[in-house]
């Protein structure tokens, strides 16, 4: 048994070593200005099941250098989805967005909603999950203490602490669920068609509502026959024809 674990861990290490080696190789290519080759290598590593935000970030940089702005934006967004607080990715994404045609003004949200979303995004569902778990265990300890205590002061104190911890746990779990939902089910996409009409209905006969250009980020709300219902930052909603967007 012990040997088996050892063998598995060594082989995993070897595998990981290979990926890192490839990664370094790709970085070297990027350094030498061979962006196309670098793109190929980064994508290989990603295909092997790695999804480090560094990979997406570097891939995006390569695309940026190749002037393939929609691809660059897509990968910066992917990198930011994994690591929400990557300042470099944020900066480069802003630069890439400057090269897009559509400048859509965002409908401003109320500041507390922005703060709330910011904090939730910053922590991420994993951290929030551990956070709430810690509190349920603390609550457990407090309640055991409450039962065991002989002293009435200790009993009162432990009960109120336990209740407080339990409330924090419930609140934390709700936040975790919310954050998880945001991360997993909120589908966003980047437009890849050079220019595309957004229609009022999911077919070619629909009225043209407005036009979007490559590199613009949209939110995907629904899907009918491969036509996707999208929403842009200023709140406009319409249908986009199949094959013109790429999900982040």
Partner 1 sequence: MKKMILILIFILIYQNLTAQTFRTSVSKNPVHVGERFEISFTLNAQGGSFKAPSFSGIRILSGPNQSQQMSFANGRSSVNLTYSYIAVALNEGEITIPSASIKTNGKTIKSNTITIEVLPETEAQKRRKEQKKKQEQSLQQQAIDILKKTIFVDLNVNKSNVYEGEQLIATYKLYIHPDINIVNIKPGTMPVFEGFWAEEIDLGRIEYKTEYRNDVPFRAAVIKKVVLTPQKSGRLKIDPYDFEFTARLRVQGGRRSNDIFDQFFNDPFFGGNYRDFPYNTSSGSATINVKSLPDNAPESFYGAVGDISTEIWFDKTKTKTGEPVTLKMKLSGKGNLKLLSTPEITFPPSFELYDPKVTDNIRINSYGMSGDVIFEYLAIPTNPGTYEIGPVSFSYFDLNDREYKTNKSKLFEIKVEKGKDVSGGVITGVEKSDVELIGKDIRFIKTGGELQKNQKKFFGTGVYYIFNLLPFIIFLGFLIYRKKNQELQSNTTLLRNKKASKTAKKRLSIAEKYLKEQNKAKLYEELSRALWGYTSDKLSIPVSELTKDKINGKLNELNIKPESIEKLLTTLDHCEFARYAPTQEGEDMQKTYNDSADIIIDLEGQLK
Give residues in contact with partner 1 (CB under 8 A): 16, 19-20, 23-24, 27, 30, 45, 49-55, 57-58, 61-62, 64-65, 82, 88, 91-92, 94-96, 98, 101, 103, 105, 125-126, 128-130, 132-133, 136-137, 139-140, 143-144, 147, 173, 176-177, 179-180, 183-184
d(CA 77, CA 5): 37
d(CA 30, CA 17): 20
Residue 153 to residues 83, 140, 160, 162, 243: CA-CA distances in angstroms? 46, 18, 11, 14, 68
The residue among 132 and 241 lying less far from partner 1, judged by its C-beta, is 132
d(CA 91, CA 61): 11
The residue among 184 and 225 lying less far from partner 1, judged by its C-beta, is 184
The residue among 146 and 239 lying less far from partner 1, judged by its C-beta, is 146
Shortest distance (Å) from residue 179 CB to partner 1: 8
Shortest distance (Å) from residue 200 CB to partner 1: 25
Shortest distance (Å) from residue 223 CB to partner 1: 22
Phi, psi of 44 (to 5 degrees): -60, -45
d(CA 225, CA 223): 7
Please answer whether residues 96 and 72 qualify as being in contact, where contact means their C-beta atoms are separated by less than 8 angstroms.
yes
The residue among 55 and 218 lying less far from partner 1, judged by its C-beta, is 55
């Amino acid at each position: 048994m012990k040997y088996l674990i050892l063998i598995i861990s060594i082989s995993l290490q070897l595998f990981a070593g290979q990926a890192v080696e490839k990664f370094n190789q790709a970085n070297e290519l990027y350094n030498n200005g061979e962006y196309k080759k670098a793109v190929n290598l980064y994508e290989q590593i990603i295909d092997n099941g790695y999804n480090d935000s560094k990979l997406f970030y570097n891939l995006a940089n390569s695309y940026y250098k190749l002037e393939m702005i929609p691809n660059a934006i897509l990968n910066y967004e992917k990198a930011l989805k994994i690591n929400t607080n990557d300042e470099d990715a944020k900066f480069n994404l802003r630069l890439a967005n400057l090269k897009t045609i559509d400048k859509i003004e965002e409908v401003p949200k109320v500041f507390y909603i922005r703060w709330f979303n910011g904090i939730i995004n910053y922590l991420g569902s994993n951290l929030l999950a551990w956070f709430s778990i810690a509190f349920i265990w603390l609550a457990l300890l407090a309640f055991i203490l409450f039962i065991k205590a002989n002293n009435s002061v200790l009993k009162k104190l432990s009960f109120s602490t336990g209740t407080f911890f339990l409330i924090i746990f419930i609140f934390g779990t709700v936040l975790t669920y919310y954050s998880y939902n945001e991360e997993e089910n909120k589908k966003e996409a980047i437009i890849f068609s050079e220019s595309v009409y957004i229609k009022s209905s999911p077919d070619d006969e629909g009225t043209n509502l407005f036009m979007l250009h490559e590199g613009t980020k949209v939110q995907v709300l629904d899907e009918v026959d491969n036509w996707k219902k999208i929403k842009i930052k200023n709140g406009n909603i319409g249908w986009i024809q199949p094959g013109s967007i790429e999900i982040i």
